[in-house]
Amino acid sequence: MLRYFGKSRGVFAAGLVLTAALAVTMGVRRAQGPVWIAVITVLLALALGTALSVLVANLIATGCEQAIQETLHMDLDPEGFIQAYAPAAARMKPGSAARCAAAANLAEAHCTAGRWQQALSTLEEPGPGLPPARTAALRALVLRCRCRYLLWGQQPAEARRVLDELKALLQEQTAENPGLAVNLRPQVRLYGVWAAILEGHPADAAGLEEQMRRLPTKLDKLDTCWMLRLNSRLTGDTEAEQRFTALLASEGGQLACAREARGETV
């Protein structure tokens, strides 16, 4: 997977070389005419070739990013994701939006590998100078992640403190960035249920299981499956606990919760 991150740069470099060669060729062909025509021809060739190189390189980079994200969210291989993603993330500018998002991606992988404390320390806050709306979105991402890792670490009191901070941020952004609140409020509610289970308050198992079926990725579904397992244990429903444990074991790939369900050393 590591090779993917070099593809876009390689394509961009090759595009620039081809662009330069084409510009020189066209310049030589126009050399017999007025100089200004040759200059314009070369400049146009360079501009169009560079723009096309950037476009193709960006498309390839996006495809590679999606492929690597699938390693974690669909293939459920956190260690494989970290191996592929960490070198590229380390090259991003500290404080930038890209670096903040990349740190959150790496933290997510550490958490799913069973290292929730390392996940917390991997998170990075957005730096100064970013647009306010972008800063708010990144800050909400960091808070969401922090809450999730504390829940995996069975720290409901700390998780609720972070959750309250996230709720306040979403309330502040209701007018300026309504889509942010719409996207995150379902997770806010879900994490509130998770904290309640950890505090000893049973959840509506049927409603939680229905919600699990509607979630978009395996990683989201397995988070909820873990909650259902905890809830079954809390209510003394041994049959349900065994069913959710078996589901984690069979569908969880290399996630720490799945390995634990299979009786493997984590």
Per-residue pLDDT of the chain (266 residues; tens, 9 = 90+): 334 444 444 444 554 455 555 545 554 555 555 544 555 555 555 565 555 544 443 434 444 566 677 888 888 999 999 998 898 888 889 999 989 999 999 999 999 999 999 999 999 999 998 999 899 999 999 999 999 999 999 999 999 999 999 999 999 998 888 888 888 988 999 999 999 999 999 999 999 999 899 888 888 899 999 999 999 999 999 999 999 999 999 999 999 999 999 999 87
Enter the DSSP assignment of 93.
P
Model confidence pLDDT, tens digit, residues 239-262: 999 999 999 999 999 999 999 999
Q: Rounded to whole angstroms, how far apart are CA atoms 152 and 184? A: 19
The whole-chain average pLDDT of the chain stands at 82
Spatial contact of 49 and 23, defined as CB atoms under 8 Å apart: yes
Q: How many CB atoms lie within 10 A of CB 242?
A: 12
Model confidence pLDDT, tens digit, residues 195-219: 999 999 999 999 999 989 988 888 8
Contacts 24+ apart (CB under 8 A), 29-33: none
Taken as a whole, the chain contains a residue count of 266
